[in-house]
Amino acid sequence: MDQGVSRLGRVVLLGGSGQIGQTLARHFHDQGVEVISVSRTPHPAPWTTVAWDGKTVERWTKSLEGADAVINLAGSSINTRFTPEH
């Protein structure tokens, strides 16, 4: 087990269903860390997934309780044209 990772009990990944989030979740999970992935489009996984609708805060903020680390990966892709929508 990675010495730095071994100190972590729980990691919350905001935007955890994307490519980077899935890779980090798998890494932490394989190291024995409790992983909670918060996403608008959660996928079945061997770790906990929490749905977030982008409007409410109650459910997903509870997943932050007791977290040793929170990693924010949520956001729009930067590979898009700058428009009023983006």
Distance of CA 60 to CAs 2, 6, 50, 83, Å? 28, 25, 6, 29
**Domain definitions of the chain by residue range:** 3-72
Q: What is the pTM of this model?
A: 0.80
Lay out the sheet containing 10-14: strands in order across: 48-51, 34-39, 10-14, 69-72
Asked if residues 70 and 10 have their Cβ atoms less than 8 Å apart, the reply is: no
Q: Which two tokens stand for residue 81?
A: 């044209």
Per-residue pLDDT of the chain (86 residues; tens, 9 = 90+): 556 566 899 999 999 998 899 999 999 999 999 999 999 888 899 999 999 887 888 778 888 999 999 999 987 766 777 777 76
Secondary structure class of 40 (helix, strand, coil)? coil
Can you give the pLDDT at residue 81? 73
CATH homologous superfamily of 3-72 = NAD(P)-binding Rossmann-like Domain (3.40.50.720)
Can you give the pLDDT at residue 5? 61
